[in-house]
Homo-oligomer: A and B are copies of this chain.
């Protein structure tokens, strides 16, 4: 997505440790018009897929998912909650996720009431790197017996293995920008096309 790549070049900052800081427009301060463009692009990519629900994970996925849902005839959004407690009740689907960014493991939970076997679910998230959060969401959808239509990712770090692993497993992953490489000394960002 040309508009997104241009914005990343203009306002993204490459930091040490493979960090791409895009918090001026994507995940701390939010450019709502850009979100609308992103949502419209996901709708174009998944338009014939009969999506009945959008699933994301707190926190930064929520806004993108809500605006994207508007381009899918206002299908409901469900966001998985990150749970730090060990008390998981029987009325939720849950999955463990290892976060490399934060160096810890956490559990994600979704109430069983909000994913049904007949649901055709599009997963939305801001970043895909190692893919652990996405794998956790897919596990939850599988627990519910629902269908994973695919994943809509805003920025994929193509030099980390998440996207490749998921595609090998047969998951449709559409990333609007795939970073092939980036350099924290020069600030250069190269996209895959």
Binding site for B on A (CB under 8 A): 17, 19, 21, 23-24, 27-33, 35-36, 58-60, 62-63, 65-67, 69-70, 74-79, 81, 85-88, 101-102, 110-111, 113-114
Contact = CB atoms under 8 A, between A and B. Distances in A.
Given A28-B87, A66-B67, A85-B101, 12 more contacts: A19-B87, A23-B88, A23-B111, A24-B113, A28-B79, A29-B114, A32-B76, A36-B74, A58-B59, A59-B79, A63-B63, A67-B70
How many copies of this chain does one complex carry? 2
Contacts of A75: 32
Contacts of A81: 28, 59
20 contacts: A17-B86, A19-B86, A21-B87, A29-B78, A29-B113, A29-B114, A30-B66, A30-B69, A31-B76, A32-B76, A36-B70, A58-B58, A58-B59, A58-B60, A59-B59, A59-B62, A62-B66, A63-B79, A85-B101, A86-B102
